[in-house]
Amino acid sequence: MGFNRLNKVQKQITKKKGKNAALHENSRDTQRLQSASARDNKLNRLTAMREKQNRHYLLRVKSFQSYTVEHVAPPTIPDIQAMIEDYLGRDDEEMAKLKAERRPGRPPSTRETLLKQHQAVEQGEYTSGFWIPDLEDMENLKKLKEWGGQWSGLATIRPVRISRDGVKRESSFPPKGLS
């Protein structure tokens, strides 16, 4: 998804000047090209940053979508909690492998440290309320199964927060804090 302000400016300048016209170093047209290029770079950078921030929520919803493929009826809270526990344990094998590969007395690798931090954050979120799509509502479950994997498509799916002790609370999209 590239932005095309630079292409528009280039097209306008070539239309005005001709195909083989050279531009002066500090001309207005050169400044227009530079500012359009800077704007495109900034927008591409911001888009990439936003996609990176939202990626873990997309992966989470995709995981729960795959968990619910075989469900015809909405799962109960204990079933949903089992799905959450399964989701939270998805990196356990890699953690055990990294720990086994490490020589005794050596500090953990960067990857192992990052996985531990990520697991601690998700466990804390689960204690206060884990953000997932509402799987108890049949219509919401149907929307989740039909979801195509796009961030914009998540707006139609109603999210909830389910805590470790089985309390279900309404939530918002996009997820903010503990809402």
Between 72 and 140, whose confidence is greater? Answer: 140
Q: Say yes or no: 74 and 26 in one domain.
A: no
Q: Say yes or no: 89 and 172 in one domain.
A: yes
Q: For residue 135, is pLDDT > 70?
A: yes
Backbone phi, psi, residue 41, to 5°:
-60, -45
Q: Say yes or no: 10 and 96 in one domain.
A: no
> For the segment 153-179, what is each residue's pLDDT rounded down to a tens digit?
888 899 999 999 888 888 877 777 655
Q: What is the pTM for the complete model shown?
A: 0.71
Q: For residue 49, is pLDDT > 70?
A: yes
Are the C-beta atoms of 98 and 108 separated by less than 8 Å?
Answer: yes
User: How far lies 142's CA from each of 18, 88, 130, in Å?
Assistant: 56, 24, 21
> For the segment 64-90, what is each residue's pLDDT rounded down to a tens digit?
888 888 878 888 889 999 999 999 999
171: containing domain:
68-179
Q: Say yes or no: 108 and 169 in one domain.
A: yes
CATH of the domain at 92: 1.20.1440.170
Q: Say yes or no: 51 and 136 in one domain.
A: no
Backbone phi, psi, residue 160, to 5°:
-140, 170
Q: Say yes or no: 49 and 110 in one domain.
A: no
Side chain identity at residue 123, one-letter code: Q
Q: Say yes or no: 95 and 40 in one domain.
A: no
Q: Say yes or no: 110 and 170 in one domain.
A: yes
> For the segment 3-43, what is each residue's pLDDT rounded down to a tens digit?
678 888 888 888 787 777 778 888 888 888 889 989 999 99
Count CB atoms within 10 A of the CB of residue 125.
Answer: 18
Position 14 in a domain: yes
The set of residues, in sequence order, having a beta carbon less than 8 Å from that of 78 and lying 6+ positions away, is: 166
